[in-house]
Amino acid sequence: MKLSGQSRTIHLNPKTKSNFIDVGQQIHKTTLSNKIRIISHKIPYIRSITMGIWIDAGSRDEEPLEHGRAHFLEHMLFKGTHKKSAFELAKAIDAIGGNSNAFTSVEATCLFAQVMDENFEKMAEILIDVFLNSKFDPEEIEHEKQVIFQEIEMFEENPEDFVMSLLDKKRWENHALGRNILGSRSTISSTNSKELKLFCQKHYTPEKITIALAGNINHDEAVGILGKSFEKIKAAKYETEKRQKPNAEKGLVFQKKPIEQYHLCIGANGFSKKSRSRFKASLFTTILGGNMSSRLFQEIREKRGLAYSIYTFFNQFSDTGMIGVYEAVSEENLIPSLKLILKEVKKLKNKKYSEGELESVRSFTKGNLLLSMESTENLMLKLAQNESLYKRYIPFDETISEIEKITWNDIRDMADRVFDRSTLTASVLGPDTSKKNEIADILKI
């Protein structure tokens, strides 16, 4: 494919819109007549291109009887089209030296591939075929069910993943956010080709689709290649319900499992991906337990040796979020380490610390952000997520500016707002439940 340096507007039909976003970043966006967006970030000094097809549909968009269908559908996209078998698709990507993958999250599905810039058109042809022409062959569906059953078993045998799912189930009780992405054995068993096609028709609709490209790409040539196929996608025939914001439930779930250690999660108030408080919450989470110099890691692992694994997490969604702490400890260290977690949170609420600590966390956050953008895959995902959530590209400088504004008063405010004892949720997985009441008393839940 010939790559030219100048940008020009291509009109596929009179309704197609094209608008330039960011001259300095060489970021372009074109909206097709059916509302599908094509966004590109040109990086002329590298030789690769990553292309992703992002769909604003994930596990939270499933009805209870559809549990696991978004994930199942993502699996089936690479299992054969009307033109190529699953093997032929894999061979086609390998033949151009490319890598392809896909993932399903709570709120999105994405399939993507990376190739040398000279092979972009061939890669695009493969991804278009996968996205528009998948067969959902009944025999392949039955084969893939066995793969997903294995995935479910692996998930259940991983204590860290499993205790996190227990926390989600309790925190987001009676809501789709409380269900895991993989599905259950019963819902996967009952899934068939007709149901997968129906889910696709309901959710893989133009207004939910963003095509993101990052690398040595010419935007207008990419629109010319992609637009012809993607403009054929029509609006949904079915109305889908709007996402409902969940209520955060407090409480403790303690599940017995014959394992060596106790795995503990504490879930607390968080913030959505659209909240301006997300930057403050991110820094607070890092200070508390987000890296090797964080308070919890130093106090519980390094100084006292009470746990091998302890960290904080910040799960963000479009309308809500959860900040939490995870640890894996022996029975004798479960209660002492839990008390230390709360003690460190209390310190953040009550005491002022040096600007040096805050500056270190700022640098850590900025460094991780900028280093992650060395990857065209990450740049592609940033383009897609920005468009999906904010309907605009957010420059790095804007994010860094928000991080620079954060003060110690903001961190203390986060500690107060996040770890309000009246809103905590917790999950524990371990060999016996004898300490359940003691943990509930300590957490006051």
Q: Is 128 part of a structural domain of the chain?
A: yes
Q: Is 3 part of a structural domain of the chain?
A: no
pLDDT for the residue 20: 41
Say what percent of the chain tops pLDDT 90. 88
Residues with a catalytic annotation lie at: 74
Contact 110, 102 (CB under 8 A): yes
pLDDT for the residue 311: 98
Domains held by the chain: number: 2
Residues 6+ apart with CB under 8 A from 328: 159, 160, 261, 262, 263, 264, 307, 308, 309, 310
Same domain, 168 and 42: yes
In the three-class reduction of DSSP (H, G, I as helix; E, B as strand; rest coil), residue 134 is classed as strand
Same domain, 126 and 269: no
Same domain, 272 and 208: no
- The dihedral through the CA atoms of 135, 89, 41, 272 has a sign that is positive
Same domain, 336 and 411: yes
Same domain, 258 and 146: no
Of the candidates 200, 230, 260, which is a domain's last residue? 230
Six-digit token string for 140:
């392949």
pLDDT for the residue 354: 79
Of the candidates 166, 197, 230, which is a domain's last residue? 230
Q: Is 7 part of a structural domain of the chain?
A: no
Same domain, 218 and 262: no
Question: 423 burial class (0-12, 13-18, 19+ CB within 10 angstroms)?
Answer: middle
Task: Read off the DSSP letter of residue 28.
Answer: E
pLDDT for the residue 425: 98
Same domain, 218 and 273: no
The values of phi and psi at residue 40, to 5°, are -135, 150
Residues of the chain with pLDDT under 50: 1-23
pLDDT for the residue 134: 96
**251-256/425-430 β-pairing:** parallel
Same domain, 165 and 307: no
Same domain, 135 and 177: yes
Same domain, 112 and 51: yes
Which residue type occupies 33?
A: S
Which residue is associated with the tokens 């890092």? Answer: 286
Task: Read off the DSSP letter of residue 81.
Answer: B
The CATH number that applies at residue 112 is 3.30.830.10
Q: Is 179 part of a structural domain of the chain?
A: yes
Q: Is 239 part of a structural domain of the chain?
A: no
Contact 40, 250 (CB under 8 A): no
Which residue is associated with the tokens 């009805």? Answer: 63
Six-digit token string for 258:
């014959």
Cα–Cα dist 29/211, whole Å: 10
Cα–Cα dist 28/19, whole Å: 7
- The dihedral through the CA atoms of 347, 348, 352, 355 has a sign that is positive
pLDDT for the residue 25: 66
Q: Residue 356 is part of which domain span?
A: 251-443
Q: Is 8 part of a structural domain of the chain?
A: no
Where do the DSSP E strands lie in 290-407? 307-316, 321-329
Same domain, 385 and 416: yes
Same domain, 195 and 271: no
The CA-based diameter of the chain, rounded to the nearest angstrom, is 71
Cα–Cα dist 49/41, whole Å: 10
Q: Is 236 part of a structural domain of the chain?
A: no
